[in-house]
Amino acid sequence: MNCKTCEKLIPLFVEGDLAGKEEAVKSHLAICDRCSALSEDFSRSQRWLHSASLPELDDSWLENMRGEVMDNLRAESVRHSRADRLLSASTWRWLVATAAALVLAILAIAFSMRSVHSPDQNPNHEIQVAKDPGEQPAEAGPPSDSYQPRSNDRQSAVGHSVKKHRSPVRTNIARRSVEPLPENVIEQLTAAEQTDGAEPEMLRIEMQTADPNIRIIWFTPKATIE
Partner 1 sequence: MPTDFAETLLMTECTGLAKDETRAGCAPGSRLVDRAKAGDPAAFDQLMEMYQRRVISIAWRILGNKDDAQDAAQDTFLRAFKYIGRFRSGEDFSGWLYRIAINACRDLARKRVRDHNSVSLDATLEAREAAALQSSDDVEHSALRSEQLAVVEQALAQLTPREREALVLRDLEGMATEEVARILGSTPATVRSQISSARCKIKTFHDRMIHRQSRTRR
Question: Of these, 57, 89, 116, 207, which contacts partner 1 (CB under 8 A)?
Answer: 57
Residue 62 is a binding residue for partner 1 (CB under 8 A):
yes
Per CB under 8 A, the segment of 65-73, 98-106, 132-140, 158-166 that binds partner 1 is: 65-73
Report the nearest approach of partner 1 to the CB of residue 88 (Å).
19
Per CB under 8 A, the segment of 63-71, 98-106, 148-156, 218-226 that binds partner 1 is: 63-71
Residue 142 phi, psi (nearest 5): -65, 150
Q: How far apart are CA 209 and CA 186, in angstroms?
A: 25
> Which of 149, 166, 167 is CA-nearest to residue 158?
149
Extended strands (E) in 81-191: 126-128, 138-139, 161-163
Report the nearest approach of partner 1 to the CB of residue 48 (Å).
5
Residue 185 CB coordination number (10 Å) = 13
Are 144 and 153 in contact by the 8 Å Cβ rule? The answer is no
Counting residues that bind partner 1 (by CB under 8 A) gives: 32
Q: How far apart are CA 217 and CA 183, in angstroms?
A: 21
Closer of 42 and 147 to partner 1 (Cβ):
42
Per-residue contact flags (x/-) with partner 1 for residues 25 to 54, judged by CB under 8 A: ----------------xx-xxx-xxxxxxx
Are 140 and 159 in contact by the 8 Å Cβ rule? The answer is no
Residue 207 is a binding residue for partner 1 (CB under 8 A):
no
Question: Of these, 11, 22, 155, 167, which contacts partner 1 (CB under 8 A)?
Answer: 11
Are 147 and 161 in contact by the 8 Å Cβ rule? The answer is yes
Tell me the β-bridge partners of 216: 207
Residues near partner 1 (CB under 8 A): 8, 11-12, 14-15, 17, 41-42, 44-46, 48-58, 62, 65-66, 68-70, 72-74, 76
